[in-house]
Chains A and B, each alone.
Chain A
């Protein structure tokens, strides 16, 4: 009964066009009323969902990206990439997959990756004649790759939630091949779609022009080096690096390129808070919604359903994937890891699945949830920086979903993809 109120209200509000954040909020309020939980808890959960330190990467990277775009730094960067890869069709799409994967690898956060890459690369892809929806699709799906390539704070959460001491070192090693596999599949799809849509082939401008472009772009290229180097050498955390990116961009935009004035600066700031508010209001409201789902024990009951219903290992793994994908459409990644790991891990261990292997399945599966509506924070960031409605992005995202699902199936049913590397180091 309570669950019907919760989901029914959400679907109704979403369908008639109430903004996603307010749909979630109104549905949560209805559910809290039925569940006899004081109404102010809805708003406490919302505030708690918004004030999370790691989420600061969203406004900061969007701000940095916007500043780079407005001050012309980003354009110089793309001239280099274009000069280097211009000859292949959809080359910029592949650059985005590679850059996102690398960035996500270092930052460990899909949403940071989507914020940083989306706000710089999407406008540039558009300028080069790529459709916005294509640019958004490439950016958001490749942001997921960073969840698999170490370091990844979600793997650390998984290790703690497992309660059986899954080694974080093993998890990190296990993610590398699946990460590369997923990136390769996405690059393939990005290329296929680009060819099909007939995106223009670039041309190599010659070595001299390429070097010229590279030299002019050096201060911009340094941004990437400072961010990644700073994280890897322990000067700052991944979250802090996003603020450093803003400060660095302000400095070179103002003093080196001299293209960043007060007006542009304020515009970038207000622009960034608008996009941030769009996404964080949804994350906050989804936190309240998840609270109601948790009280109703929806995740637990779904998990119990499979364990009692079947005993065929292949079907169990498939069902687990379906359930995680389903839950992932409504709930965020880290709370799901915390809730589902202790329930599902004993089940899969009984059918002989290695905990490290299962962890990797979970990372990719819940990562896919971040790019699926109705609650997909990474998709929302992408659509917001790409300035297109979420539906327009989703309408053409299917080939990319296909690549992710294919990767998920390979990773699920071929344990060696995950386990070969950690086993080799034992």
Chain B
């Protein structure tokens, strides 16, 4: 894909060769190719459009460096802008409150329960925390068992109340137990829900208001397409979450949803999930994500050669 976009850009810009600057005329076709590449990577149509106009501004009048042809220079500009957009300040998880309450939210099947287990495991083994996992999904068949199995695997306690159908009550009772048992981190797993399901969104709003979490994390499948823009925004409107978790990045998705989400809600991506095992958790690298969305493995080496 890197070659692909590169070739297309070279072609679009070939009239420019030998000239010293990128100009309006030849940038138009290039911008179209970049936009297409982004949309192919599942970046939202509107976000891709806005992004390419920023790129266009940047590119116009840019001096062509001798070692880069105009196509390469264009790729470099796109890559740098993308990485900049996705990065920003390093977003550490706040875990100093005692207890630290972390609320996990997202669509059905995005990877919330698995991530809850991974995060518990990470905080236990790397940060020396005494974690309590809370089974707040009272709907999905065997959701509670699933969290209990994971808790057992990693040696972390799980609070569950099979008799209750009320996630607010469950969360409150769990917090009380955590205080008694000296747990310093509480991770609340919740049921998957659609952003347009008013009743379910109201439920998580009530959980959020009641427990007042230190961190609320929005878990999203990295294979998500154009809908990322709606979902990320709606969940943010209700929860004003602190960070995003991108899952299933062990696949071969380009992951354009990352750019979409970053742009529409301006919240940092705090973790990435890269497998089904409890250890498959990683921090987020903006540069790598930019390369991935553009489908280019070695833009870095290209840029370094410049």
Does A associate with B in a complex?
no
Residues of A within 8 A of B (CB): none
Residues of B within 8 A of A (CB): none
